Amino acid sequence: MTDRSELYPVNTIPPLTWAMQLYFKKDFKFKEPGTIELVFPAGDHKELMQKKGEHRVHLWFTDQKVFVRARCTHSSKCDFNGTRIQGGDREGLMNIPWEGTDDRSFFRAITKWLLRINLEFVPLIRSLTTVCDRYVQIPMTTKYGRTFEKFDEYRRNRWPKDAKPNDRPRFLEEVLVRVCFWIQSAADVGALHPPD
């Protein structure tokens, strides 16, 4: 059985949402792009062993907010369907059936989605770093006994040489990977204190 507290979306979407909230509070230049949606295929809806539709998890950005919802394309009565959840609600995201989605493509897909929103790159990275320190009790000691004074120290640990700022998609993808595991590590040891 999958531990839902360890799922990539559960540990990436909330801090990304918190960072975007901080970003918009700072009033950076931003042209509202309308609704930007990302759909994660999450398996088939089957009846009597026959495919009748698809299960999907929808992630979307609209009016400077992030939302997530599980939907079945075949039936509104399917148990897969869920209510709309705000992106910053980590506990709520654990209730979404992510197990059918593809882990391997998650970070690449969410990076492309985020780049389509067209936020200023440096303030976005700074916002991610800020929320990773603000909502995690630091210094943070992982369950493996390593202590990190701040997220930036954790982020730079074994940083891949190909993830350079001039390659924004690759750099942002790697930052999101580090954010995900930082949040998961903090939650593992009771050091995660998300905003109300």
Residue with tokens 């995660």: 192
Q: What is the pLDDT of residues 152-196, one digit of tens each?
A: 999 999 999 999 999 999 999 999 999 999 999 999 999 999 997
Q: What is the pLDDT along the chain (196 residues), one digit of tens a residue?
A: 578 899 999 999 999 999 999 999 987 777 888 899 999 999 888 887 888 899 999 999 999 999 999 999 999 999 999 999 999 999 999 999 998 888 889 999 999 999 999 999 999 999 999 999 999 999 999 999 999 999 999 999 999 999 999 999 999 999 999 999 999 999 999 999 999 7
Q: Which of 31, 13, 18 is nearest to 68 (CA)?
A: 13
What angle is formed at CA 92 by the lines to CA 143 and CA 145, rounded to 5 degrees? Answer: 5
SS3 52: strand
Per DSSP, what are the bridge partners of residue 46? 51
CA distance 63 to 83: 19
